[in-house]
Amino acid sequence: MSESKKLLRGRFRKDAARLVKQFTASVDYDRRLYRQDIAGSITHARMLAKQGIITDEEAETITTGLVAIREEIEHGLLEFDSELEDIHMNIEARLAGKIGDVAGKLHTARSRNDQVALDIRLYMKDAISSALHRLRELQTVLVDLAESNREVVMPGYTHLQRAQPVMFAHHLLAYFEMLERDIGRFLDCLKRTDVLPLGSGALAGVPYPVDRTFLAQELGFGHISQNSMDAVSDRDFVVEYQAVTCIVMMHLSRLAEELILWSSAEFAFVEMNDAYATGSSIMPQKKNPDVAELVRGKTGRVYGNLMGILTVMKGLPLTYNRDLQEDKEGFFDTVDTLAVVLDVFNGMLRTMRVFPDRAEQAAKESYALATDFADYLVRKGLPFRQAYTIVGGLVDHAMAEGLGLDEIDISTLRSFSPLFEEDIRRIDTMASVNARNCIGGTASEQVAAQLVRARDIIEGGYVD
Amino acid sequence: MSESKKLLRGRFRKDAARLVKQFTASVDYDRRLYRQDIAGSITHARMLAKQGIITDEEAETITTGLVAIREEIEHGLLEFDSELEDIHMNIEARLAGKIGDVAGKLHTARSRNDQVALDIRLYMKDAISSALHRLRELQTVLVDLAESNREVVMPGYTHLQRAQPVMFAHHLLAYFEMLERDIGRFLDCLKRTDVLPLGSGALAGVPYPVDRTFLAQELGFGHISQNSMDAVSDRDFVVEYQAVTCIVMMHLSRLAEELILWSSAEFAFVEMNDAYATGSSIMPQKKNPDVAELVRGKTGRVYGNLMGILTVMKGLPLTYNRDLQEDKEGFFDTVDTLAVVLDVFNGMLRTMRVFPDRAEQAAKESYALATDFADYLVRKGLPFRQAYTIVGGLVDHAMAEGLGLDEIDISTLRSFSPLFEEDIRRIDTMASVNARNCIGGTASEQVAAQLVRARDIIEGGYVD
Amino acid sequence: MSESKKLLRGRFRKDAARLVKQFTASVDYDRRLYRQDIAGSITHARMLAKQGIITDEEAETITTGLVAIREEIEHGLLEFDSELEDIHMNIEARLAGKIGDVAGKLHTARSRNDQVALDIRLYMKDAISSALHRLRELQTVLVDLAESNREVVMPGYTHLQRAQPVMFAHHLLAYFEMLERDIGRFLDCLKRTDVLPLGSGALAGVPYPVDRTFLAQELGFGHISQNSMDAVSDRDFVVEYQAVTCIVMMHLSRLAEELILWSSAEFAFVEMNDAYATGSSIMPQKKNPDVAELVRGKTGRVYGNLMGILTVMKGLPLTYNRDLQEDKEGFFDTVDTLAVVLDVFNGMLRTMRVFPDRAEQAAKESYALATDFADYLVRKGLPFRQAYTIVGGLVDHAMAEGLGLDEIDISTLRSFSPLFEEDIRRIDTMASVNARNCIGGTASEQVAAQLVRARDIIEGGYVD
Amino acid sequence: MSESKKLLRGRFRKDAARLVKQFTASVDYDRRLYRQDIAGSITHARMLAKQGIITDEEAETITTGLVAIREEIEHGLLEFDSELEDIHMNIEARLAGKIGDVAGKLHTARSRNDQVALDIRLYMKDAISSALHRLRELQTVLVDLAESNREVVMPGYTHLQRAQPVMFAHHLLAYFEMLERDIGRFLDCLKRTDVLPLGSGALAGVPYPVDRTFLAQELGFGHISQNSMDAVSDRDFVVEYQAVTCIVMMHLSRLAEELILWSSAEFAFVEMNDAYATGSSIMPQKKNPDVAELVRGKTGRVYGNLMGILTVMKGLPLTYNRDLQEDKEGFFDTVDTLAVVLDVFNGMLRTMRVFPDRAEQAAKESYALATDFADYLVRKGLPFRQAYTIVGGLVDHAMAEGLGLDEIDISTLRSFSPLFEEDIRRIDTMASVNARNCIGGTASEQVAAQLVRARDIIEGGYVD
């Protein structure tokens, strides 16, 4: 063995304790649970006193100590020590330093296993509330943008090919619907998060006459966990939160993709506000939709976080295993990503400039009315499939001649089908749009109704 | 260019059409949507007639034709043709062959985009019902198994280390809780699946006076999509189904892992029935828990299917893109996997032999009562943290002496803490278990109550 | 318990054996390993005879039987039986049926664990060869396309914004480079696949004087596994194959995205051949780049397969566990997907029509020469950052005036910087392109050199 | 609109610029590239001078400034400003502050796109070197541990059922093989990372007579990128690094799983050193293998990072898109995770206590010699399949009688097969082990040879 290797091993041995501490410590990231942890501990102490497990004075001493520690943390006065591993032990140690042995009574009828489950659930309930609020905000922006561009027509696309003209507002409201489902999923996730695990102990419950109903009420939980072994090993709510957020990000990645397309010189339907675009380090003419690109890119991170927690949980025997510590960083990252992504999207849309003329021109210069021509023939009695074939030939002809469908003279039209008459001229972009006047269709009347419905939903709050 | 390369290119060119057909065709797997497709078409035809868009006779002709085609398919008489790409075109072509031009009228006011969205939603509603049924069945097996092993005690584990004794029934009921959440998630997913997309056309709605409410009622949908562009490009429900199933599989992988551990010679708490175990091709003594292993392994496939559809959807512009065709194979695979996995798990648990003596002995021979000793001291007035330290020393002493905690004489106990008295002898495995008598705790009384609750839930059906 | 439930349970019990067989059977998909399995068995029999473990006659009888079975399979005459679980047992049973007890000697010194590992490795070696061939073919198409469009200029994009003009051939050659790395990764994966596992037995090696070197030579392996426990539980090569293919698909998804963009009315740089595009069921004017979309979509499936096998392998103890059976379906799916995707991409590119005028016009009408203007000032002595700022102002001015950079008169230019002189007129699209004349740059001279290099690589075969 | 909402929107507007800056800034994490960035810039400046693009004095001034900035950073004296977005602009701005306008010349013939690609490649080359070193270290630990437990026998497992006895050293060496493949994969990844992108400019190359060969030599690159558009948009090497690390983590998760099993009371083959285990907050007797559990858990994070970057890259058009910024955080996280995981694993194994008696007893008390009994009959002339059946019956008999195979008397044995003779007694655990004396088998002789080979590999360094 070479000298350098020997030295290296020496280093490993000497540093082992420190290295392991650093490896297993979580206080660097779980410190953000301090408010939840202290709130949980105060309530626990009050419950212990109420049940006569500790005295009222003891509870009072503990509470005062904890409140003071919260102050210290919020003023940056508490130095977190990774030797003490996590936020729970940091606070407990500080409490012991402040109030002495009575601090040790706080851990009666409680384990870190149910304590940490409590803290994450409390934190997640806040995170969901915040997500719901931001999703509603983004819906509001979409509706505002739709309303202020009520008259704008654009090509609707399938396969990124111009298909049929649609109202720009209709296009935007598609995203309103997606976000509404996202809100529904978060609300459903909230139901399953809103369950008090405290009182489950390490895994088997606690051998004290605790009052879990009191704990739930004081901490604002709607339900109480019914199986202690499940309660300390359950991270379903984290997985579900990650999955729900993946779908949100998937939606935003789609809108981001569209904004990037629309910002290109080729589409040129919109322009990002300078605050939401950046220049190039080398190309002075560039105005890049960086914010939209970055939102699209951040989809990867959130997908990865979901895959991460699913992998962590796979094949773990009951109950608590240290692997579960890996639930938090990915979760916090997703919470932060979602918050900032929704905020920047909000501002980006709100300040985006729309070019109605470009959008309308694109709608007109394509053959997007071909389906309407076919439907015209259907209304004159042809089966759709035959009408479709005839208009297909017509489009081929028009393309070859370099004409728009509206530029073909009637006699030519009639050579394709005698059913064509003068009234075919009534079919234009707006006629096409307004013909689609069924529920959910792009007709102005329908879009107007949907705008009203959207406002109602936004104002009505969350109904499950 | 070499001769062989030239030949190769020739091959490519000649086969291009066939290759592309094969590449884009989906009838090999989407044929399983035939019932949904035909049901949707019949209802669509009836609606068209009701609204005067086609005549009653036309609708009747179409319906009769479709019913006959369904018969043909169910008797294996219809040869699917991948030249016709998908199940929809196969049925449409067969209909044209049967009833002639009038078949072409079926495609009035409908596009493949809303048609396929309808079919998958109808299929998924059935898939969810079936999953719910099977999950309830598995819950029933867990409860039956718990009841028939009511008296069995085993070590509860954290970190795969024996921690505190628990009731075997309590351990099983932890999985009851997980499955109950899974049921909740499927019900929530069902709400968002239960939305009629038909009437959305290709993307913009349809230019006919369709009655979407009628369609929804006839096809059993509770809701109608409100935005046509969203309706044809939305696959949220597929992603959500995949995510929900991932969590189910995660739960089952955990139970599978435990069954594999428990089947080992080292644990030997259970033995799989011969039907659920297999031998080795080379080792005559082996009895392997293959079914449990395979369930654990199949978790990977379902995680993969989720990641697949999330990737497909990322960054797609509205509305329909051909990428969406990739929604189905992974979905069908997950549906099939979930069904068979739940069925085999059911039988595996139902026929599994439990060895109560081994489980109980394991619970007893560890130091799993240490927490109870600490709690004993707490009840005599010590703060928990001090009690914990004292018992920690006691355990070290006992291990060094090779004694169980119950084998240390009183005077030795008192040398660790004078608070120890004769009544410490009352702490044994069952006393430990029954001390945890709070909601969700492992005490026999609590477990009995949970068994009653579980039966109530099972009998009560699904309440959201 | 209700009657229907009782019935249901009856069904479960009665069908248990069948259900489990179906659940654990793999012959439906592992039958495609029949050639590998038979080749391995024949070589194994010959080795056993060579080592005197069986007689030469026995080996001969076994070989003749296996050759006949291969014939049967290839002529569709062997009915696979899922009761016999997998391809290995199906062949073994058929062999016993054909040649009697001597068939049982084939399993001497071999287990299914090393047998299946052998079969997959043999299969994968073929799959990699095939992938390498197809990747080279696709590189050839790219080079052909580049050469036949040597003069075409287009906008180079960053952030989907026009940035600087580039040669179309240069753009295509970027994908040549990606595929070249993919080839390198497959070759590296091949090294680690090219290892004979046979002779590892169930897990511990075999108690017979086998000649593994002989086996390796006869079966064409370059290496012999060095640890039997690793050999039967190693699926690294499957994971690596999946990961390598994910990167290929990622590359193809990028090119597919570009082809979809370029096929849009907005870009209109290319048009897919009719064979590689499809129409709409409802919109007669549509020509959708379905093949490119589907390739992009199939990226999801391959990503999912990678995640699947990674999940399967996570946390499995040594050695063989039944979970490993899940290595195959995802692998076969990826093999098939890669093959067809490369084939259709090949044909799609080969038949694609390019519109040089549209591409060139797009390159010209943007401000893509702005960097060249800045570089002009740099060459006159300004630090780049100052030049950048001046040209930024110039672009703003030009946009406001609706002018191209080449349309601003000299005096105006000089009002931005006195360094501008008449020679600024020499900067045009081709000058910009040809100025980038460093290795890897877009100058015609460089691109020509790269085309030569690309041909050399293609002709030179695979050098690691 | 409510007042609170108005306020909220006000907040958004006012903070938009700040929020976007924060959203797009990367200096918080890419600051760790400062050494690479400065090294790249110094070399770039020297090349510019060498080529006469800037003067020698300018290059000298720039270099001196950059060296000073590196000093400042390393002494914590440079405050990073997220307004300046990334590490590159922070350094450039600081340079301008220090040396004035000449700093602007550094950006000649370079863009942030090729600059950032350079920095990550330099960083990754270091990261791979470090990973290789640590993997070799861990191999050394495995070999040391194997050697110091040369005589230890244990049960080999398949399906977590005892299968055949193996040497403990043999089991450990299986992981040596896995790590050796990991090293091979990192070396292969290194080849593709070792490519200089500088000189690619923003996307099209640079319009200056740069000397890329000089740059490559000075910066230690073996290759030069051959296509500028590929070079700025290629992140294959990041994906490949992530994939390679996933496989490492997969391997470690398997060993971690085994260590956790072996640390359980049920197996009790090993005990973690106190430094690598932790206690419980509530159960004084617990000694949990937390480090092993956490390693297993961290597999999820690394899998997630792979999935993240694959998702980011999917479907991105050329060339640079802002999405690519998301390549770094996941990459850094994986680099850090791998480093610490390998370090703690090293120490954990090195300090782990092995209980040879427990392992040996487990090997003996099972029916792990059954295969040897069958092989005994084969050597007496029976086909393996018949021998297998006979021994299967024998095992059933022994189990029913509660006997070990070695406890059945000869006459009983002979009633199963007359081929059994007295020499059957020679089959014991060590005889079974040593019978597997083929390459890669568990026989002591083979294991000894593998230990020598392993040492040779370790001492021999990395040969590709």
The DSSP string of B395-451 is HHHHHHHT--GGGS-HHHHHHH-TT--GGGGG--HHHHHHH--STT--SHHHHHHHH
| B32 — pLDDT class (breaks 50, 70, 90) | very high
Query: Are C315 and D253 within 8 A, CB to CB?
Result: yes
In the 8-state DSSP scheme, what is residue A266? T
pLDDT value of residue A109:
94
Q: What are phi and psi of B47, to 5 degrees?
A: -65, -45
Nearest Cβ partner of B283 from D164, D365, D394?
D164
* Res C186 pLDDT > 80: yes
pLDDT band at D10 (very low <50, low <70, confident <90, very high): very low
Both tokens of A365, joined, read: 């210069």
D209 in contact with chain B, both atoms CB, cutoff 8 A: no
Burial class (CB in 10 A: 0-12, 13-18, 19+), A74: exposed
Residue A287 phi/psi, 5° resolution?
-135, 100
Residue A185, token pair as written in the block: 């999923």
Q: Which CATH superfamily is domain D3-7+16-108 in?
A: Fumarase/aspartase (N-terminal domain) (1.10.275.10)
As a whole number of angstroms, the distance between CA D83 and CA A364 comes to 44
Determine whether the interchain pair B307/C307 forms a contact, defined as Cβ–Cβ distance below 8 Å: yes
Q: In 10 A of CB D97, how many CB atoms?
A: 11
Q: Give the closest-approach CA distance of B436 to chain C in angstroms.
A: 31
Q: Do A173 and B227 touch (CB under 8 A)?
A: yes
Rg (CA), chain D: 31
Tokens for B167?
Answer: 């009731």
Tell me if chain A has a CB within 8 Å of the CB of C362. yes
* Per-residue pLDDT at D435 exceeds 90: yes
Compute the nearest-CA separation of C4 from chain D (Å): 37
Average pLDDT, chain D: 93
53-72 of A, contacting D, C-beta below 8 A: none
Stretches in chain A below the pLDDT threshold 70 = 1-14, 462-464
Which of C24, C281, C321 is closest, CB to CB, to B107? C281
Verify whether the Cβ–Cβ distance D205 to C442 is below 8 Å: yes
Of D280, D397, D415, D432, the catalytic one is D280
Asked whether the predicted pLDDT for residue D120 surpasses 80, the reply is yes
Q: To the nearest 10°, the Cα dihedral for D48, D51, D55, D58?
A: 20
Query: Which residues of chain A neighbour C362 with C-beta distances below 8 Å?
Result: 265-266
Question: How far is D395 from D405, CA to CA, in rounded Å?
Answer: 7
Q: Give me the residue spans of the domains in chain B.
A: 3-7+16-108, 113-361, 365-459
Q: What amino acid occupies position D252? A: L
- Pinpoint the alpha helices (H) of A314-418: 328-351, 356-365, 370-379, 384-401, 410-416
Q: From the list C162, C285, C288, which residue is nearest A370 (CB)?
A: C285
Contact D344 A20 (CB under 8 A): yes
CATH class of C113-361: mainly alpha
**Residue C11 pLDDT grade (very low, low, confident, very high; cuts 50, 70, 90):** very low
| H helices present in B264-368, as ranges | 290-313, 328-351, 356-365
The region that residue C403 occupies, defined by phi over 0 for left and psi between -120 and 50 for alpha, beta otherwise, is beta
Phi (first) and psi of residue C210, to 5 degrees: -75, 160
Residues in chain A: 464
Over chain B, what is the mean pLDDT?
A: 93
Q: A164 and A432 in contact (C-beta within 8 Å)?
A: yes
- Residue B352's pLDDT is 96
Interface test with A, best of B91, B242, B438, B456 (most A CBs within 10 A): B438
- The Cα–Cα gap between C236 and D244 comes to 10
Subunits that touch chain D (at least 3 Cβ pairs < 8 angstroms)?
Answer: A, B, C
The span from the CA of A118 to the CA of A198, in Å, is 6
Query: How confident is the model over B167-191, as a mean pLDDT?
Result: 98
| Residue pairs between chains B and C whose CB atoms are closer than 8 Å | 193
Pairwise CA distance, residues D171 & D154, whole Å: 9
Classify the C-alpha dihedral A432-A434-A435-A441 as positive or negative. positive
Scan for tokens 């709400």, then name that residue. Answer: B191
Q: Compute the distance between CA of residue D277 and CA of residue D288 in angstroms, rounded to an integer.
A: 5
The band of B449, judged by pLDDT with boundaries at 50, 70 and 90, is very high
Nearest residue of chain C to residue D316 (CA atoms): C254
Strand A195-196 to A223-224 pairing: parallel
Q: Contact, D338 vs D131, CB < 8 A?
A: yes
The C-alpha atoms of residue C369 and residue A443 are separated, in whole angstroms, by: 44
Contact A163 B202 (CB under 8 A): yes
Nearest-Cα residue of chain A relative to residue C363: A265
The pLDDT score that the predictor gives to residue C17 is 79
pLDDT: which is higher, B117 or D7: B117
Q: Which of A75, A159, A281, A411 is catalytic?
A: A159
Report d(CA D248, CA A205) in Å as an integer.
38
C151 closest CA partner among C169, C135, C133: C169
d(CA D228, CA D201): 7
Sign of the dihedral through C-alpha A400, A403, A406, A408: negative
Q: Can you tell me whether residue A435 is helix, strand or coil? A: helix
Query: How high is the pLDDT of residue C14?
Result: 53
Mean confidence (pLDDT) of chain C: 93
Q: How is residue D258 written in tokens?
A: 């085994």
Phi/psi zone of residue D107: left (φ > 0), alpha (ψ -120 to 50 degrees), beta?
alpha
Quick one: which of A435, B225, C192 has its CA closest to D187?
C192
Alpha carbon distance D313, D309 (integer Å): 6
Contact (Cβ atoms closer than 8 angstroms) between residue C252 and residue C348: no
Supply the pLDDT for residue A14. Answer: 53
Start-to-end Cα distance in chain A: 67
- Render the burial of A368-400: b for 16+ CB within 10 Å, e for the rest: bbbbbbbbbbbeeebbbbbbbebbbebbebbee
Q: Give the residue-averaged pLDDT of C277-301.
A: 89
Closest chain B residue by Cα to residue A437 = B207
- Residues D92 and D104: their CA atoms lie apart, in Å, by 8
Residues near C215 by Cβ (< 8 Å), separated by ≥ 6?
Answer: C43, C44, C47, C196, C198, C199, C221
CB contacts, 8 Å: B282 with chain D = 371, 374, 388
D299 contact A CB<8A: yes
- The pLDDT value given to residue D463: 53
Which residues neighbour C255 within 8 Å (Cβ) at sequence distance 6 or greater? C175, C345
Q: Flag whether pLDDT at D307 surpasses 70.
A: yes
Q: Is A19 helix (H, G, I), strand (E, B) or coil?
A: helix
Which of B288, B307, B366 shows the shortest C-beta gap to D159? B288
Is any Cβ of chain D less than 8 angstroms from the Cβ of B321?
Answer: no
- For residue A231, list chain B residues with Cβ-Cβ distance below 8 A: 440
| DSSP state letter for B347 | H
What pLDDT was estimated at residue C464?
46
pLDDT value, residue D367: 86
Render pLDDT for C27-73 as a digit per residue (tens, 0 to 9): 999 999 999 999 999 999 999 999 999 999 999 999 999 999 999 99
Write down the pLDDT at residue A305. 98
The single-letter DSSP state of residue B319 is S
Helix (H) / strand (E) element for A290: namely: helix A290-313
Nearest to A154 by CA among A354, A371, A293: A354
CA distances from A193 to A169, B176, B243, B349, D294 (A): 36, 17, 17, 29, 25
Report the pLDDT value the prediction gives residue D462, as an integer from 0 to 100.
64
Residues 220 through 249 of chain A touching chain B, CB cutoff 8 Å: 224-234, 236, 239-240, 243, 246-247
**Surface-to-core class of residue A4, CB atoms within 10 Å of its CB (0-12 exposed, 13-18 middle, 19+ buried):** exposed
Whole-angstrom distance, CA of residue B188 vs CA of residue C188: 47
CB nearest to B293's CB, from C107, C299, C322: C322
Predicted interface score ipTM higher than 0.90 = yes
The architecture of the domain spanning B365-459 is: Orthogonal Bundle (1.10)
Tell me, yes or no, if A41 is annotated catalytic: no
**At D54, which amino acid appears?**
I
Q: Do C340 and B22 touch (CB under 8 A)?
A: yes
- Write out the DSSP string of D212-247: HHHHHHHHT-SEE-S-HHHHHH--HHHHHHHHHHHH
Chain D neighbors of A116, CB-CB under 8 A: none
Instruction: Give the dihedral sign, CA A212/A217/A218/A224.
Output: positive
Residues, chain B: 464
Question: DSSP assignment of C16-64, as one string?
Answer: HHHHHHHHH--HHHHGGGHHHHHHHHHHHHHHHHHTTSS-HHHHHHHHH
Q: How far apart are CA A45 and CA A62, in angstroms?
A: 7
| Active-site residue, A397 included | no
The whole-model pTM stands at 0.95
The predicted pLDDT at position D402 comes to 86
As beta bridge partners, residue D158 has D161
Catalytic residues of B: 159, 280
* Chains in contact with chain A (at least 3 beta-carbon pairs closer than 8 A): B, C, D
CB-based contact B293:B260 (threshold 8 Å): yes
Tell me how close the Cα of D237 comes to any Cα of chain C, in angstroms: 10
Which residue, among B258, B131, B146, B123, has the nearest Cα to B182 in the 3D structure? B131
What angle do the packed helices D236-263 and D112-148 form, to 10 degrees? 30
How far is residue B195's CA from residue B221's CA, in Å, rounded to a whole number?
Answer: 6
Half-sphere exposure of A421 (CA within 13 A, CB side): 6
Chain C contact for B346, CB < 8 A? yes
Do A323 and D293 make contact, defined as CB atoms within 8 angstroms?
yes
Q: Which of residues 248-277 of C touch A (CB under 8 A)?
A: 260-261, 263-267
Chain B hits for C351, CB-CB cut-off 8 Å, are 16
pLDDT at D406: 85
Q: Check residue D162 and report its DSSP letter.
A: E
User: A301, A316, A348: best mutation site toward chain D, by most D Cβ within 10 Å?
Assistant: A301
- The model's pLDDT over A320-344, given as tens digits with 9 standing for 90+, comes to 999 999 999 999 999 999 999 999 9
- Contact of D286 with chain B, judged by CB distance below 8 Å, is answered with yes
